[in-house]
Structure 1
Amino acid sequence: MRKKLLACVVALSVAGSVTAADRPIAPNGIALYPDYMSWKVVAPSYREDKGQIRIITGNEIAVAALKAGTKPLPDGTVLAKVAWKAEKHPSFPVATEPGDFVQVEFMVKDAKKYKDTGGWGFARFVGNNLQPYGKDKSFVAECFGCHTPVAANDYLFTKIVKTP
């Protein structure tokens, strides 16, 4: 019985593991980071023009650098921006809550690899099937163009939220 249970646990863990080959990959080669929701929350945000509630999470490198005020952020920094449609709470209409999942976007810091886009690689995965965004790697021009107004802040709109 113990051997069967162990074999079942091993089979389930292997079946449930996510390898790079199993993850969606953006046209520029950035693969989805499957653990982005287990990273620390850096900040919430609301995008009025899109009607989206968002949270920004960061890997350990990102969070440590943001807390320390390090600029530019070091290579290895990865930030995820997770977006849901904003919906009124059905029992309390003055409250807004996340509805349907919209997308997750990543910013990956590698100053040499992404030197043409301020040291940042960009990726977006849309919908519940996490469809990679963009027909080819030129989609990053759209991402980078949006971030150029905040070039002085290492191309980041986000700052880590402060709490007591």
Structure 2
Amino acid sequence: MRKKLVVCVAVLSLAGSVVAADRPVAPNGIALYPDYLSWKVVAPSYREDKGQIRVITGNETAVAGLKAGKKPLPDGSVLAKVAWKAEKHPNFPVATEPGAFVQVEFMVKDAKKYKETGGWGFARFVGNTLQPYGKDTSFVAECFGCHTPVAGNDYLFTKMVTTP
């Protein structure tokens, strides 16, 4: 299990070292942000219906906006949601840990460019090859549709976790 997690982290680290021209690009033109694993952690989450452990990270603009309680977040904010399949720890079955890497998703704030989707651009990259999700730009309707129940929170499910 630990070996799988190390492999996942290694693959994601390598993805961060890819030159800009070689980054995967979603059908709507949003390229994978190679440094998303070095961004600050905004919050962890667990998606029951998917059986996924997720970590949400944010670039400096997003984190500053979240900490300041800004709604909507300022243009230039980018959030990444990194997902792994949840698996029981083999030696401690009451513990759940990340297993195989599933995907990374991005939300990119640009109120003018993405006016039709609440000011947010969406992108998803799936599997260890970081395959762009969607055959064409219509995939965005799926992403935005999921986020409409939280329109009053700038389309965000996530909030900055607090610690003492």
| TM-score over 0.5 (shorter chain) | yes
2:37 maps to what in 1? 37
d(CA) in 1 for partners of 2:118 and 2:77?
13
Residues 66-122 of structure 1: CA deviation (Å, up to 9, x unaligned): 000001000000000000000000000000000000000000000000000000000
- The worse-fitting range, judged by mean Cα deviation, of 18-27 and 55-64 is 18-27
Rg larger in structure = 1
Matched residue of 2:144: which SS?
Answer: helix
d(CA) in 1 for partners of 2:89 and 2:124?
28
The within-5 A match list for 1:12-27 is 17-27=17-27
The alpha-carbon deviation at position 20 of structure 1 amounts to 2.2
1:82 maps to what in 2? 82
Over 3 Å counting, the alpha-carbon distance change for 1:17 and 1:45 in structure 2 is closer
2:119 maps to what in 1? 119
d(CA) in 1 for partners of 2:117 and 2:135?
18
**TM-score between the two structures when normalised by the length of structure 2:** 0.89
Aligned length in residues: 149
The alpha-carbon deviation at position 19 of structure 1 amounts to 2.6
RMSD: 0.9
The alpha-carbon deviation at position 21 of structure 1 amounts to 1.3
2:49 maps to what in 1? 49
d(CA) in 2 for partners of 1:17 and 1:152?
36
1:130 maps to what in 2? 130
Q: Give yes or no for contact 2:81–2:105 (8 Å, CA) kept in 1.
A: yes
Divergent runs of 4+, >4 A: none
Matched residue of 2:101: which SS?
Answer: strand
Where in structure 2 are there 5+ consecutive unaligned residues? 1-15
Matched residue of 2:87: which SS?
Answer: strand
1:98 maps to what in 2? 98
Matched residue of 2:62: which SS?
Answer: helix
Over 3 Å counting, the alpha-carbon distance change for 1:67 and 1:91 in structure 2 is same
Residues 3-49 of structure 1: CA deviation (Å, up to 9, x unaligned): xxxxxxxxxxxxx9533211000000000000000000000000000
d(CA) in 2 for partners of 1:95 and 1:58?
27
Residues 118-146 of structure 1: CA deviation (Å, up to 9, x unaligned): 00000000000000000001100000000
Determine whether 1:59 maps to 2:59.
Answer: yes
2:141 maps to what in 1? 141
